[in-house]
Amino acid sequence: MMNIIRADLYRIFRGKAIYITFAVMLAIIILSVFIFHSMPTTEFGVVVTVGEFDPDTLEFINEPEPATPDVMDGAFVARMTISNMENMAFFFLPIIVAVAMAMFSTGAVKNELSTGLDRTKLYFSKFTLSAVLCLIFMLLYFLLFVIFATIINGLGYWGDGLLPSLLKSLGSLMVLTLAFNSVGIFLCFATRRTAAVNGLYIALLFVPMMIVSLLALAFPGAINFLNYELMHQFDFLSQVTDLPTAQLIRSFATCLGFILVPMLAGVGLFRRAEIK
**Is the predicted pLDDT of residue 46 greater than 50, yes or no?**
no
Question: Looking at the 3D structure of the chain, how many domains does it have?
Answer: 1
Give percent of the chain above pLDDT 90: 43
Residue 224 lies in a domain: yes
Closest C-alpha to 174, from 262, 85, 246, 98 = 85
Split at pLDDT 50, 70, 90, the class of 48 is very low
Q: Is 62 among the domain residues?
A: no
Per-residue pLDDT, averaged over 8-15, amounts to 88
pLDDT of residue 68: 46
Q: In the prediction, which pLDDT does 235 show?
A: 87
pLDDT digits (tens, 9 = 90+) for 130-174: 999 999 999 999 999 999 989 888 888 888 888 999 999 999 999
- pLDDT value at residue 196: 93
Domain containing 123 equals 2-38+71-272
The answer to the question of residue 64 being in a domain is no
Long-range contacts (CB closer than 8 Å, 24 or more residues apart) made by 267-276: 267/119, 267/120, 267/123, 267/124, 269/189, 269/190, 270/119, 270/122, 270/123, 270/189, 270/190, 271/119, 271/120, 273/189, 273/192, 275/109, 275/110, 275/113, 276/110
Q: Is residue 111 part of a domain?
A: yes
User: Is 94 a domain residue?
Assistant: yes
Cα distance between residue 270 and residue 117, in whole Å:
13
Among 43-52, 75-84, 251-260, the least confident range:
43-52
pLDDT digits (tens, 9 = 90+) for 182-209: 999 999 999 989 999 999 999 998 898 8
240, part of any domain: yes
Q: Give a yes or no: residue 61 inside a domain.
A: no
The answer to whether residue 46 sits within a structural domain is: no
